[in-house]
Amino acid sequence: MKVAVLGAGAWGTALSVLLAAKGIPVYLWARRREFAEELRAYRENRAYLPGVALPALVWPTAQAEEALEGAELALVALPSRAVREILSGFPRAPLYVSATKGLELAGGLKRMSQVIREATGVDRVLALSGPNHAEEVARFLPTASVVAGEEEDARRVQALLNSPTFRVYTSPDLTGVELGGALKNVLALAAGMVDGLRLGDNAKAALLTRGLRELVRLGTALGGKEATFYGLAGLGDLLATCYSLHSRNREAGERLVRGVGVEELLGGRQVVEGLFTVRALVEWARAEGAELPIFEAVYRVAYEGEEPLRALSALMAREPKPE
Ligand SMILES: NC(=O)C1=CN([C@@H]2O[C@H](COP(=O)(O)OP(=O)(O)OC[C@H]3O[C@@H](n4cnc5c(N)ncnc54)[C@H](O)[C@@H]3O)[C@@H](O)[C@H]2O)C=CC1
Ligand SMILES: O=C(CO)COP(=O)(O)O
């Protein structure tokens, strides 16, 4: 058994640690040769997941052939904007699991499993998503997650990843599981804005509850199942992200209200997926005429320079209506 993990950021590293702890050899692919060498030398990902030792069974490499040759599956933990380009040029794996949380706008909104399928020509693509901060998973704190896709493959991946500290559920709702993971990142930006503005717990609860409603409305319109959005990959991940000090999306929301520009956040070392997702989503929604007031408000603050308080006041001033 050999697994390739593509992407040596926090999440790819945490998943590698998890698999290695189960005795499974992992080839962890990093984009830069010097970085793969650094990982091998220090046996620690000092840039993205400091303080966690890399087990001997994790072999960092920058060579795609070495990572993928003979691998039974590839776990994709790349930033969403890199998935298509990177996988297009790589040798194929028989089975892919997307651990990336994002959306692409290219001739319509695409989920990461669709991007992987298009880039590789491989149909067997699943998604792994849930309330899963890498910092906690890699330290073996109790965590639950969902692997979604075709039943037999989902069961296989469940058996591969499930461990005493990482409980994996299966789901047939690939669309819903992927959308939950991508859309909650936008609400985490909004949560960070509320935190940064010190608007209080009531405001945050209201925003997230109404945001969840918007997420469910959009997610079901895009083909996800309502129940999925109230499960681990929806509400579960929304809570973990919006109330966490680990979350890069929540933190980016705080930084936006402190006046940090979106270009700086987009160009940062760590990926802030919500900023890419909200851009894809709002461009799509405007073209389609879809109404997404909270997602729109996040977009206007991030990309159109609207004052965050003004955007929130506009939400409060909408026509009163039944819940
Ligand atoms: N960090 C976490 O707790 C979790 C992250 N995820 C998802 O996993 C994906 C990866 O996130 P993290 O591992 O947290 O990233 P990270 O922020 O820790 O690191 C970014 C990684 O992306 C690489 N990178 C940057 N630009 C690239 C490019 N153009 N091509 C290839 N690689 C590039 C960097 O070298 C680095 O390895 C994201 O979609 C994220 O939403 C999902 C669950 C948990
Ligand atoms: O998806 C995550 C936890 O489930 C990580 O969230 P951030 O990308 O905001 O850190």
CB within 8 A of 97, min separation 6: which ones? Answer: 73, 74, 75, 76, 125, 126, 127, 128, 147, 157
Query: Does residue 271 have its Cβ closer than 6 Å to ligand 1?
Result: yes
Q: Which ligand is nearest to the CA of 14?
A: 1
pLDDT at 317 over 90: no
Calculate how far, in angstroms, residue 202's C-alpha sits from the geometric centre of ligand 1: 32
Predicted confidence at residue 316, as pLDDT, reads: 87
Return binding residues: 7-12, 31-32, 48, 101, 130, 134, 184, 237, 247-249, 271, 273
Q: Residue 231: what are its φ and ψ, rounded to 5°?
A: -100, -165
Nearest CA owner, ligand 2 atom 2 = 133
Do the two domains 3-172 and 176-316 of this chain adopt the same fold? Answer: no
Q: Is 321 one of the annotated active-site residues of the chain? A: no
Query: Among residues 184, 204, 225, 321, which one is catalytic?
Result: 184
- Tell me the one-letter amino acid at 220: T
Query: Does residue 8 have its Cβ closer than 6 Å to ligand 1?
Result: yes
pLDDT at 247 over 90: yes
Fold for domain 3-172?
A: Rossmann fold (3.40.50)
Predicted confidence at residue 296, as pLDDT, reads: 97
pLDDT at 107 over 90: no
Give the tens place of pLDDT for each residue, 41-97.
999 999 999 999 999 999 999 999 999 999 999 999 999 999 999 999 999 999 999
Q: Is residue 13 within 8 Å of residue 51, measured between CB atoms?
A: no
Confirm whether the ipTM is greater than 0.95: yes
Query: Does residue 132 have its Cβ closer than 6 Å to ligand 2?
Result: yes
Average pLDDT over residues 202-228: 97
What distance in Å separates the CA atoms of residue 98 and residue 80, rounded to the nearest whole number?
A: 10
pLDDT at 127 over 90: yes
CATH 1.10.1040.10 describes domain 176-316: yes
**Cα–chain center distance at 1:** 26
What distance in Å separates the CA atoms of residue 5 and residue 18, rounded to the nearest whole number?
A: 11
- Tell me the one-letter amino acid at 38: E
Predicted confidence at residue 323, as pLDDT, reads: 92
Calculate how far, in angstroms, residue 323's C-alpha sits from the geometric centre of ligand 2: 29
Calculate how far, in angstroms, residue 264's C-alpha sits from the geometric centre of ligand 1: 17
Predicted confidence at residue 79, as pLDDT, reads: 98
Average pLDDT over residues 271-285: 97
Average pLDDT over residues 191-212: 96
Q: What are the residue ranges spanned by the domains of the chain?
A: 3-172, 176-316
Query: Does residue 184 have its Cβ closer than 6 Å to ligand 2?
Result: no
Calculate how far, in angstroms, residue 33's C-alpha sits from the geometric centre of ligand 2: 26
Query: Does residue 102 have its Cβ closer than 6 Å to ligand 1?
Result: yes
Give the tens place of pLDDT for each residue, 170-190.
999 999 999 999 999 999 999
Nearest CA owner, ligand 1 atom 36 = 9
Query: Does residue 131 have its Cβ closer than 6 Å to ligand 2?
Result: yes
Calculate how far, in angstroms, residue 8's C-alpha sits from the geometric centre of ligand 1: 7
Q: Which ligand is nearest to the CA of 253?
A: 2
What distance in Å separates the CA atoms of residue 193 and residue 301, rounded to the nearest whole number?
A: 10
**Cα–chain center distance at 264:** 20
Average pLDDT over residues 243-259: 97
**Cα–chain center distance at 202:** 27
pLDDT, averaged across the chain: 97
Q: What is the DSSP string of 158-197?
A: HHHH-BTTEEEEEES-HHHHHHHHHHHHHHHHHHHHHHHH
